[in-house]
Amino acid sequence: MAMNKYVNGKLTKLTPTEVEQLMSQKEDYDSGSAERISKEVRNQRDRLLTDTDWMALSDNTMSPEWASYRQGLRDITDQAGFPSSVTWPTEPE
């Protein structure tokens, strides 16, 4: 498979050394897939929890549905399919 790059606006072939470097970088990237996915899922979970933090303030009474939703978010990492297969809890209305 020929691999190309643009140099000064012209398409040129990669050298064998450049192809080897690129493949090595891809291998390094692919080997960290589970770690990247795990971090992305945790970041999404943290954003959703942050969006509902106001409900956990001491002057607010949280409904059981919201408490269950927030607990479901915190338990995401305990799911059997984590991080590649996660079932997100449904936000209450």
3-state class of 57 per DSSP?
coil
For residue 28, what pLDDT is reported?
Answer: 77
Task: Dig out the tokens for 56 from the structure.
Answer: 């956990």
Task: Dig out the tokens for 69 from the structure.
Answer: 């939703």
For residue 25, what pLDDT is reported?
Answer: 84
For residue 45, what pLDDT is reported?
Answer: 97
For residue 26, what pLDDT is reported?
Answer: 84
Domain extents for the chain? 1-31, 34-93
Specify the DSSP element, H or E, that contains 12: strand 10-13
| pLDDT, one tens digit for every residue, the chain (93 residues) | 678 999 999 999 999 999 999 888 888 777 778 888 899 999 999 999 999 998 888 787 889 999 999 999 999 999 998 988 999 999 998
Cα dist. 4→15, 28, 68 in Å? 9, 21, 52
In the numeric block, the tokens 């106001």 are attached to: 54
For residue 89, what pLDDT is reported?
Answer: 96
For residue 54, what pLDDT is reported?
Answer: 87
Q: Which residues contact 79 (CB under 8 A, 6 or more apart)?
A: 85, 86, 87
